[in-house]
Amino acid sequence: MERFKTVDSIVEAVRNVQQDDAQTYEQQTYRLAKIAENVVDYPVAEDDAFYALYESGQICDLDEGHAPYAPRYILPDYEKYLREGSAFLRIDPPETLLDATTALLVLYHHVPSITRFPVYIGALDALLEPFVKDTDPDTARSILKNFLLQIDRTVTDSFCHANIGPEETETGRMIIDLVGELQNPTPNLTFLYDEAVTPDAFAERAVAASLVCANPAFANDAYYKKDFGDVDYGIASCYNALPKHGGAFTLSRLRLNKIAEAAGSTETFFEKTLPFAIDTMLRFMEAKITYLVEETAFFRANFMVKEDLIDVDNFVGLFGIVGLHECVQTLLGYDEIPGTFGTDEAADAMGIRVMDYVEERVGAFTSRYSPVWNHKFMLHAQVGAAGDLGTTAAHRIQIGKEPDLYTHLRQAAKFQKYFPSGVGDHYPFDSTAKKNPGAVLDIFKGAFRLGNRYVSAYNEDGDLIRVTGYLVKKSDVEAFRRGDAVHYDTVQFALDPLTEYGVNKRQVEGV
C-alpha cells in the first residue's frame, strides 16, 4: 500500500487515476477515495515492526486502506429487514415478490464493504420463497430473472455473494436455472449442501449449472454448522463463512513462503521468524479494529446498527495465510528432505506442523472485540492478491503439481479443517462431466465425508471461470488486457492470476 509523503505524490496518484482509459468513472471515483484514505497513517506507530514485514512481503493488508471506516465484510440480517422494513430507507415490510426484490435492491445499495459493494446479499431462496409461493410461476421467474440481472449490472464486483440450500425450494430451483441461463459473474453463489437434507436431484441441478457457468460452489453445511454452533452463518465474498447479523472487521494475511525464505533454517522459522510475523500481524489487526470501532463513525451512526440489522459483537477479525506450498518446499530444502507438498507424506507433515503452530499461536491471542467468536481471530485460507507471483493461494497445491483428483481431495481435507472462516479448492472438469452431474455430486459427497469444507467445479471450456474464489469471464479479462474498460471491478484482479499465475492451467478432471 503506497504511503504518500508529499503533496506532489498525492497529485500524481490522482492524475494517474483520472487519465486511466481502462477505468470506468465509478471505478475512478473509488480509487480517488482510496487515495484520500491513504493520506492518513496506519493506526500503528512509525517504528512498528509491521512496516518492515510489509515491505519484505511477509505481511499483506490486502489494500484495505490505512484508515478503514467501514468493516471489510458485512452480513446484514436480511430476514429482519424483510419482516420489519427500514425507517431510515422508508421501506415498509414487503407484501409481494416484486416488493421484496425491490426492497432488497434498495438495501444492497447501502451495504458497504472493502469492494464498496455488498459481499453478502442473503440466503435468497429462504428469503424469497414465501413470496414466490404466492406468485404465479411464470411471473415469479420473470421477477427473479430481472432481480438477478439488476444485481449483476449494478453490483459490478463478483465478490458479491448469495447462498441457497440446503433445503430444496421452488425459489432455489428457479435461481439455479437462471444463473445457468444468464451466465453472469455476479452474484457469486454457494450451495449450502447437507447430504442428510438436500435431495440428490436438487443438488445435481446445482452441479449441472456449475458445469455451465461455474456457479454455484458447494459448502459442507453440516461442518460449518458444527463450528458455528448457535451462531447463524452465511458464506460471503469468495467463500468466507461469517456470522450473520455481523461479519468481518478486517482481513490481513501472512505470506508463509516469504517468512520461510527470511528464516534461513527450519529452526529459525519456528523459533523466530514465524512467531514474530504472527505476533506483529495480530497487533496490527487489533489496532485496525480498534480504530474502526472507536474512532470512526460507522458503529455509532450507521442506520444498520441503529436498526439492529448488524451488531458490533458479531464481527470478527480474519487472520489469513497464503503460500503454504512454497513455505513447505523451502523448509524441506533447509533440512534436505525430499518431497513435494500434496503428494509426499513428509511434505504434508511439514505443512501440518506449520498450520498447527499458526493455529495455536493465533488462538492464544485474545482480542478486545468479537465475543461471538470468544474474542479470537478466525483463521482464513486467503485466495490471493496482486503481487503473489510465486505464492500459491492459501494451503493449496501449486498449479502444475496437482495429484489425481481423489488424492487431491484427501490431501485438501488435511488442511481445510484449520479454516472455519473460509477455505476452498476448485476443480475444472472436462466436457464429459456435463453428461453426468450425478457423478460429480458423488465426488463432492466423498470430499465432504473426508472432511472438506468447500469445493467447486467448472467446465474447462466455459467463458466463466472461478479464479480463486470469485468468478470472471475470460472474455472480459481479454478486453481489459487490451486496455478496454470493463464494468466489473473483479476483472482487474483476475488479470495476473489468468495470465501470470496459471489459474487457467489447473489440472482438468474427468468422471
77-134 per-position pLDDT tens digit? 999 999 999 999 999 999 999 999 999 999 999 999 988 899 999 999 999 999 999 9
pLDDT confidence tier of residue 2, bands split at 50, 70 and 90: low
Which pLDDT score, from 0 to 100, does residue 77 have? 98
Taking the C-alpha atoms of residue 456 and residue 433, their distance in angstroms, rounded to an integer, is 13
* DSSP state letters, 384-437: --TT-TT--STTPPPTT----HHHHHHHHHHHHTT-TTB--EEEEE-GGGGG-H
Burial class (CB in 10 A: 0-12, 13-18, 19+), 387: exposed
Write down the domain spans for the chain.
Answer: 40-69+247-423, 72-239+424-489+500-510
pTM (2 decimals)?
Answer: 0.93
Select the more confidently predicted residue: 27 or 338. Answer: 338
Taking the C-alpha atoms of residue 176 and residue 381, their distance in angstroms, rounded to an integer, is 27
Which pLDDT score, from 0 to 100, does residue 197 have? 98
Which pLDDT score, from 0 to 100, does residue 367 have? 98
Tell me: pLDDT of 1 over 60: no
Percentage of residues of the chain with pLDDT beyond 90: 74
pLDDT confidence tier of residue 216, bands split at 50, 70 and 90: very high
Tens of pLDDT, residues 292-331? 999 999 999 999 999 999 999 999 999 999 999 999 999 9
Which pLDDT score, from 0 to 100, does residue 502 have? 63
pLDDT confidence tier of residue 463, bands split at 50, 70 and 90: confident
What is the average per-residue pLDDT within 14-40? 88
Tell me: pLDDT of 444 over 70: yes
What is the average per-residue pLDDT within 160-188? 96
**Other Cβ atoms within 10 Å of 93 Cβ, number:** 13
Which pLDDT score, from 0 to 100, does residue 281 have? 98
Tell me: pLDDT of 428 over 80: yes
Tens of pLDDT, residues 307-316? 999 999 999 9
